[in-house]
Chains A and B, each alone.
Chain A
Amino acid sequence: MAKLKIEDLKKIKEKVHSETALREGDRRVKITVHMGTCGIASGAREVMDSLMAEIEEAGVTDVIVTTSGCMGLCSREPLVTVEILGQEPIKYEYMNPNKMRQVFKRHVLQGEIQTPFVLAKGAEILK
């Protein structure tokens, strides 16, 4: 049977411990990729893949990623919600891996909302 390489996990654990010790703040950003049937069928998993790759490449530790179900806007999928601490949540529509990379680099890291992809700001629908 193919076995897990536990030594690698130990290395990750040690690295995360050393980073946590250096860090002051905790979670600054929460990103939700909507993962209902409609989201999955229109490419939400690929959006998630590109997001995880970006987070690892940027080496940030204050961004958490999660998934949620369908919110009833199936025709606008894949949808992604970016919530930065102390700011209104931004919902992005028709996402793909490239748009996700752009949103991560410009909005999450630099604070610039990517207006052309925005569906809603807080509870307000923009389009």
Chain B
Amino acid sequence: MIELSLHVLDIAENSTRAGAKNVYITIVEDTLRDRLSLEIRDDGEGMSRETLERAMDPFFTSKKVRRVGLGLPMLAQAAEQAGGSLKLESELGKGTLVRVEFQLSHIDRQPLGDMAGTLATLIAGNGIVDFIYSHRRDDREFLLDTHEIRSELEDVPITHVEVLNYIRRQIKEGLKEIEAIP
């Protein structure tokens, strides 16, 4: 992966395949502490203790079509090479939390990239899942909650291309307004 937003897309896609109804994506840029944290939390089926113990092994996967599972290990590597780490918590029947920290100014920290494209893709492919994306930079915050958009749209599907492009524009403008990292 060449940018953090692609990791977010990958991990959040896992959440949707775990049957999540709500996926919370939280990004916090703390310039004072020079930390960047990225959190993806879901209310999906969660993992058993055995699965959780093996989830960081690149040669472990719950899928049958291939024998590798690179998503989480690649994100952990991206964090470790940028002065950070990955924490994984999960409970069967409750959901999963992936929390990653980076040194914000680290030369090897991947750029954030296109969060607007990531959210638009997630919503397009998972029309029945709600996504709550919060992005904070110090005391400024951008929040996108698909519950709010859905209630405004009434019978118009959130996966309609014009709605998705509206969401895309809102995220781009919102992140620019709070001066989020590129």
Contacts and interface: CB of A to CB of B under 8 A. Distances in A.
Chains A and B are bound partners? yes
Interface of A: 1-2, 4-6, 8-10, 12-13, 15-17, 33, 35-38, 40-41, 45-46, 48-49, 52, 55-56, 64-72, 74
A10 B141 contact: no
Given A4-B144, A4-B148, A38-B70, 5 more contacts: A12-B163, A17-B156, A36-B13, A45-B117, A72-B66
Contact of A13 (B13, B125, B153): B153
Contacts of A52: 120, 124, 161, 164-165
30 contacts: A1-B142, A1-B143, A2-B140, A2-B173, A5-B170, A9-B166, A10-B152, A12-B163, A12-B166, A13-B152, A13-B153, A13-B156, A16-B160, A35-B121, A35-B125, A38-B70, A40-B1, A45-B121, A48-B121, A49-B120, A52-B164, A52-B165, A56-B161, A56-B165, A66-B125, A67-B126, A68-B125, A69-B17, A70-B65, A74-B66
Nearest to A17: B156
A66 B160 CA distance: 11
Contact of B10 (A2, A40, A56): A40
B141 A2 contact: yes
B67 to A, nearest CB: 10
A8 B162 CA distance: 11
A70 B114 contact: no
B174 interface: yes
Interface in B16-36: 17
A70 B161 contact: no
Contacts of A36: 13
B154 interface: yes
